[in-house]
């Protein structure tokens, strides 16, 4: 029944922040329609895209995500009238900030997926997974998390000199 699964050296971890009214229902539809999409995506359900804080994206990367997907209702379809409009501005600004800091924006995907668009959900998730897979693991945040404040070099000439004096 199931198509043969390709073996990959690297399986990316994708965190999807989705709104409960549209994209979560869209992903549900994909499931109940028995559409296949990569199991790399971990779906986190939020009341609205307006509830998704830019800090969540940072946190996801710090906790080892290789890619992040933010998805909600199409403009005009928000259950709370304007939540996705606010989110759109917030993420437009946040993208610019991340770009300026030097984060690779191709690891972050924003999309509108309605409750009827199971197919689009599959397409968005597959595209992002394939793209992140070709980029490889997100090393920047992982390396940063392992670093300590000081340089870590304990054999500098200055320290050696002080040590010798003791």
Partner 1 sequence: MSNHIDTSAYSAVTAAIRSEAARLLAGGEVSAVIGYLPARRKGSAQPAIITSADQAAELIFSPACVNNLAVYLTKAKKEVPKSGRIAITAKSCDMRALAGLIGESQLQRSDIHIIGLPCPGVLSSVADPSALLTTDTVASKCLECEFNLPQGADFTPAVNVTPPRGPSRYAAEIARLEAMTPAERWSFWKEQFSKCIRCYACRQVCPFCYCEQCVCDRNRPQMVETTPRPAGNLAWHIIRAIHLSGRCAGCAECERVCPMDIPLNLLNRKMARELKELYDYEAGFEPQEKGPLNSYLEKDDQSFIK
108, 73 in Cβ contact below 8 A?
no
DSSP symbols for 83-116: HHHHHHHHHHHHHHHHHHHT--GGGEEEEE--TT
- Please state the closest distance from residue 141 (CB atom) to partner 1, in A: 7
Closest CA to 96 of 86, 85, 83, 108: 108
Alpha-carbon distance values, 44 to 41, 110, 129 (Å): 10, 14, 16
Q: Report the residue number, 8 or 44, with the smaller CB distance to partner 1.
A: 44
Stretch that binds partner 1, among 3-11, 33-41, 87-95, 130-138 (CB under 8 A): 87-95
121, 26 in Cβ contact below 8 A?
yes
Over the window 57 to 86, marking each residue x when it contacts partner 1 by CB under 8 A and - when it does not, the resulting string is: -xx--x------------xx-----x--xx
**Which of 4, 32, 100, 153 is the binder for partner 1 (CB under 8 A)?**
100
Over the window 2 to 41, marking each residue x when it contacts partner 1 by CB under 8 A and - when it does not, the resulting string is: ----------------------------------------
Say whether residue 45 binds partner 1 (CB under 8 A).
no
Cα–Cα distance for residue pair 47/117, rounded to 1 Å: 18
Say whether residue 90 binds partner 1 (CB under 8 A).
yes
Residues interacting with partner 1, by CB under 8 A? 53-55, 58-59, 62, 75-76, 82, 85-86, 88-104, 109-112, 124, 140-141, 144-145, 147-149
């Amino acid at each position: 029944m199931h198509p043969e699964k390709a073996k990959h050296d690297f399986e990316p971890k994708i965190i999807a922040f989705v709104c409960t009214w549209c994209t979560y229902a869209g992903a549900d539809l994909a499931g109940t329609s028995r559409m296949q999409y990569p199991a790399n995506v971990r779906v986190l359900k939020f009341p609205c895209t307006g509830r998704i804080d830019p800090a969540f994206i940072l946190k996801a990367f710090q906790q080892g995500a290789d890619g992040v997907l933010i998805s909600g209702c199409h403009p005009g379809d928000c259950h709370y009238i304007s939540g996705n409009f606010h989110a759109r501005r917030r993420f437009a600004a946040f993208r610019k900030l991340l770009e300026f800091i030097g984060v690779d924006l191709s690891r972050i995907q924003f999309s509108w997926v309605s409750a009827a668009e199971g197919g689009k959900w599959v397409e968005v998730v597959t595209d992002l997974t394939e793209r992140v897979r070709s980029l490889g693991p997100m090393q920047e945040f992982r390396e940063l998390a392992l670093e300590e404040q000081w340089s870590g070099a304990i054999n500098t000439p200055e320290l050696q000199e002080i040590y010798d004096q003791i």
